[in-house]
Structure 1
Amino acid sequence: MLFERIFISSIGIASFILIFVAWGHVAPIAYDPLGPRPYPVLLLSLLLISCVYLVFRPKRFSDKVDTGFLNPLVLKKVCLTLLFFFIYAFTFEFLGFILATTIMCFAIGVLFGGNIKASLISAISMSVFCYLMFDYGLDVPLPLGFFFSK
């Protein structure tokens, strides 16, 4: 319990410092009336408020939860998930968003016990939907990879 409060306090202190860093941020180009400041200040303020609550909450509201991280199977899955994310980060531009995201989502789905057919269908549909949403809906260009390069 003490280690949890110390860890949350350190996150709270870091967010407090980052609020002052974000408050002084000024964009060189004014593309928005509010500027880039409100979003990080709002998120960091919410994080700071949550940390203050978690540090000073009464002991009766904190139950001891067994997360099961000492289980070797859970540790293996966590390590493989991190490995998949690193591979995804390194192959993102080369393979493109759709293919890299499909492979990563399929691997994570199968790793956590999903059916192969269902994992493949959901990985493809999620990759294509996210690509269309970012590229056409939000106008954020994503890499297509070497298969679709001109």
Structure 2
Amino acid sequence: MYVRVFAAAWLLACAGLALLAWGFEAPFAYDPVGPRAYPLLLLFLMACGSLWLLCKPHGDPTPAFDWAIARRAALCVLVLLAYSLLFEVLGFVITTALATFALGLLFNGRLLPCLISGVLMGVLLYGLFDLSLDVPLPLGVLRLLES
């Protein structure tokens, strides 16, 4: 019952925030998609999750609280917090590589595949966003290699 009340409240909050985000405009065009695409995408995904919680059948049992899963979720939040704090300092490529590596290990990935996928994610996503989509991303410490 409490889950459905929370889901309904969250769905209303998503709708209200989407109305606010729809009015986002930049005084100058700093990227091709504009400032409203990212918040609207996140709000859409959260609204889909709320709808699922509202409409899921009553017969599904709620799993018992598991400390291992809670610890893994907390570590995931800490990795994402570190990602946001180090994004400008270290730059997109290094921060994305480190976060991908850490999240891969957090979800029981093997060391070498996590390392390779982290480096590939950082480099390939930088190429996609900065070079293909013209979205400027910070280079951080790699700025020294640019010249």
> When the two structures are superposed, what TM-score results if normalisation uses the length of structure 1?
0.71
Against the structure 1 CA distance between its residues 147 and 82, is the aligned structure 2 distance closer, same or farther, given a 3 Å change threshold? same
Q: Which amino acid aligns with 1:5?
A: R
Which residue matches 1:118? 113
Distance in 2 (CA, whole Å) between partners of 1:124 and 1:139 is 21
Following superposition, the deviation at residue 66 of structure 1 comes to 4.2
SS in 2 for 1:146: helix
Which residue matches 1:132? 127
Which residue matches 1:109? 104
Which residue matches 2:60? 64
Following superposition, the deviation at residue 29 of structure 1 comes to 5.6
Aligned pairs for 1:1-150 (under 5 A) are 2-22=1-21, 25=23, 27=25, 40=40, 47=47, 51=51, 55=54, 57=55, 61-67=57-63, 70-149=65-144
- If asked which structure has higher relative contact order (CA below 8 Å, sep 6+), I would say 2
Against the structure 1 CA distance between its residues 20 and 113, is the aligned structure 2 distance closer, same or farther, given a 3 Å change threshold? closer
Following superposition, the deviation at residue 137 of structure 1 comes to 1.3
Identify unmatched segments of 5+ residues in structure 2: none
> When the two structures are superposed, what TM-score results if normalisation uses the length of structure 2?
0.73
SS in 2 for 1:113: coil
Q: Which amino acid aligns with 1:47?
A: A
Following superposition, the deviation at residue 67 of structure 1 comes to 4.6
Q: Matched residue pairs, number?
A: 137
SS in 2 for 1:148: helix
Against the structure 1 CA distance between its residues 67 and 122, is the aligned structure 2 distance closer, same or farther, given a 3 Å change threshold? farther
2:3–2:53 Cα contact (<8 Å) kept: no
Following superposition, the deviation at residue 5 of structure 1 comes to 1.4
* Structure 1 moving runs of 4+ over 6 Å: 35-39
Following superposition, the deviation at residue 37 of structure 1 comes to 7.6
Distance in 2 (CA, whole Å) between partners of 1:111 and 1:20 is 36
Identify unmatched segments of 5+ residues in structure 1: none
Distance in 2 (CA, whole Å) between partners of 1:108 and 1:37 is 27
Q: Give deviations 1:60-97, integer Å, cap 9, x for gaps.
A: x34424455x2222122111111111111111111111
Report which of the two structures shows the higher radius of gyration computed on alpha carbons: 1
Considering only aligned residues, what root-mean-square deviation do their CA atoms show, in Å? Answer: 3.3
Q: Which amino acid aligns with 1:64?
A: D
Against the structure 1 CA distance between its residues 12 and 124, is the aligned structure 2 distance closer, same or farther, given a 3 Å change threshold? same
2:24–2:36 Cα contact (<8 Å) kept: yes
